[in-house]
Amino acid sequence: MISRFLVFTCSMLLLAGCGAKKRTTRNTQAKRVATTKRVGVYAPNKGIENTKFNKSELYPLPADPGYFKKFAISSTAQYITEFSKIAQYEMRAFGIPASITLAQGILESGSGKGALTQKTNNHFGIKCHTGWEGEFDFHDDDEKGECFRKYNHPMFSFRDHSIFLASRSRYRFLFNYRRDAYKKWAYGLREAGYATDKQYPQKLIALIERYNLDSYDQEVVKGGLGTVRKTKSYDVFTHVVAKGDTLYGLSRKYGVSVDEIKKLNSLKNNDLAIGQVINLRKLKTR
């Protein structure tokens, strides 16, 4: 009797352990958010610039809301109204025309109504890739059941899109164009291999001109911003690893891809040690 009781108890403990492991894997982002100081949450339609948050970074994002926020978008016009301020904020931070970001978001998310976007807030179809430590979900794309990044709020999807373009060498020539040169950006993205669709530039340009998305570029340019970063002109600096730092966290904080950080520091894996000095660089914004 005692033996059967011990077997039953051990079996229950094993099952509980397996369940806990699964929940830990799926809720990495939620646990990280719980330890993050809440300093503000983006207010839709009011603009990210009006949100209070930590100014220690040049263009930081507000704190993660800590829960998945759904956006019920009914039309392309509503999509533009909802996310134009975020696109402009990213334009100021990274130099990617807001019109291009919005057009790509409209095209790749189905104006926010696509199945992937609805369940992940992923507006640009960014896959998990090496170093991703946040939430994820599976979706059929080029192959069945591919891993895609999941965000509690779309603003993190927009930021990852900016980092994706700004941190990869094949897109670097785009940042020599003027901020309002959306046609050059559209064709440049195709040239750099962003999309396999031969009509990708024309589709972006058609959306920009149909909805006058370039007007959002002009608003940013009127703020005194002309050309963007020059090729191979970098700010070089270091970061001393503190408790809780991760490669993905540094990637988001400094706008540098995980792969770039690993390459600069000859890292063979994602492990960091407290006190370790990490070399960083990013294209200058001025």
List the CATH code of the domain at 234-283. 3.10.350.10
SS3 annotation, 51-93: CCCCCCCCCCCCCCCCCCCCCCCCCHHHHHHHHHHHHHHHHHH
- Rounded Cα distance between 236 and 62, Å, is 25
Q: Give pLDDT tens digits for 20-30.
A: 333 333 333 33
- Write the burial class of residue 278 (CB in 10 Å: 0-12 exposed, 13-18 middle, 19+ buried): buried
Question: Which amino acid type is present at position 226?
Answer: G
Residues linked to residue 138 through DSSP beta bridges, in sequence order: 147
Residues of the chain with pLDDT > 70, as a percent, come to 72
Does residue 196 carry a pLDDT above 80?
yes
The average confidence (pLDDT) of the chain is 77
What pTM, to 2 d.p., does this model score?
0.65
Does residue 284 carry a pLDDT above 70?
no
Domain boundaries, the chain: 48-221, 234-283
> Which stretches does DSSP call E strand in 214-254?
234-240
Could you give the 3-state DSSP secondary structure of residue 201? Answer: helix
**Unique residue bearing structure tokens 């033996």:** 3
> Which stretches does DSSP call E strand in the chain?
136-139, 146-149, 234-240, 277-283
Contact 49, 89 (CB under 8 A): yes
pLDDT for res 222: 85
- Rounded Cα distance between 122 and 136, Å, is 10
48-221: CATH architecture: Orthogonal Bundle (1.10)
Q: Give pLDDT tens digits for 132-170.
A: 778 888 876 666 778 999 999 999 999 999 988 988 888
Q: Measure Cα distances from 281 to 103, 125, 237, 251 in Å.
A: 29, 26, 6, 11
Q: What does the block give as tokens for 211?
A: 């909805």
- Rounded Cα distance between 51 and 46, Å, is 8
Contact 155, 245 (CB under 8 A): no
Contact 151, 157 (CB under 8 A): yes
- Rounded Cα distance between 29 and 55, Å, is 23
Question: Which amino acid type is present at position 73?
Answer: I
128 versus 104: the higher-pLDDT residue is 104
Does residue 15 carry a pLDDT above 80?
no
- pLDDT mean over 257-267: 80
Question: Which amino acid type is present at position 140?
Answer: D
Task: Name 119's Cβ contacts closer than 8 Å, sequence gap at least 6.
Answer: 137, 139, 150
CA 33 and chain centroid, separation: 16
Give the residue from 116, 168, 121 showing the smallest Cα distance to 147: 116
Q: What does the block give as tokens for 198?
A: 């031969």
